Amino acid sequence: MSTPDTAWRVLDRSLAFDAAPRLKVWRESVALPDGRQVDDYYQVALPDFVVLVAVTPDDRAVMLKGYKHGVRQECLTFPGGLLEPGEDPEEAARRELVEETGFVCEDIASLGAFVVNGNQRCATGHVFYGSGARLIAARSNTDLEAATRLLLPFGQLPDHVGFDGFNLMPHALALGLAVMHRARCQAREAELAHASAMD
């Protein structure tokens, strides 16, 4: 969190490029705490998005493999997508899961919201972990990528990071957060079991 002596002050802001609703670029004039002024500090506005690590009762992750034009290759990803205007992030995660895979989760936990770029902002990614994933419907196949649905053992996912097209930062971050979330849950369960055994 910034303090009054570290925050930059926006003196002026104008729209430099508008390709709404997918992309806007703002040009800001900012004053730094040391008195310097930067007249062309650009901010990128992309839609906020969700990523959901959904795991089945037999501990397999619901994944997608499909072409991503930004990296010009097929990528391994978790289900996710853009938030609709005014949409709650958890509801967006549930919607994207069923649209892209036909699965739903019994329980979903928020793993946090993260700004994509510390200087240009770009977007906020909301990351979720879902357990008890089960197939309830056919996927809608409305995405441009036409991805294939895969069920991969959760414990093997770290072996794919940086390989097999598992190279998109939001999805690698989601896996790391999911691993930490599961470790915290297991530690809590062990503490409760230990406390019960002491009674």
Same domain, 53 and 40: no
Same domain, 16 and 112: no
Same domain, 66 and 19: no
Same domain, 75 and 21: no
Same domain, 59 and 22: no
- The CATH number given to whatever domain includes residue 136 is 3.90.79.10
Same domain, 88 and 121: yes
Of the pLDDT bands very low, low, confident and very high (cuts 50, 70, 90), residue 1 is low
Question: 148-169 burial string, b = 16+ CB within 10 Å, else e?
Answer: ebebbebeebeebeeeebbbbe
Q: Which two tokens stand for residue 102?
A: 């036909």
In a domain? residue 196 = no
92: left (phi over 0), alpha (psi -120 to 50) or beta: alpha
Same domain, 66 and 92: yes
Same domain, 26 and 106: no
Same domain, 183 and 117: yes
DSSP type of residue 196: H
Of the pLDDT bands very low, low, confident and very high (cuts 50, 70, 90), residue 188 is confident
pTM greater than the 0.95 cutoff:
no
* Contact by Cβ (8 Å): 21, 45: no
102-159 pLDDT, tens per residue?
A: 999 999 999 999 999 999 999 999 999 999 999 998 877 666 667 899 999 999 999 9
* Contact by Cβ (8 Å): 22, 47: yes
In a domain? residue 198 = no
In a domain? residue 140 = yes
In a domain? residue 19 = yes
43-86 pLDDT, tens per residue?
A: 999 999 999 999 999 999 999 999 999 889 999 999 999 999 99
Same domain, 175 and 140: yes
The count of domains in the chain is 2
Same domain, 37 and 53: no
3-21 pLDDT, tens per residue?
A: 567 899 999 999 999 999 9
pLDDT for 158: 92
Same domain, 60 and 147: yes
pLDDT for 145: 61
Q: Which domain holds residue 23?
A: 9-45
In a domain? residue 199 = no
In a domain? residue 192 = no
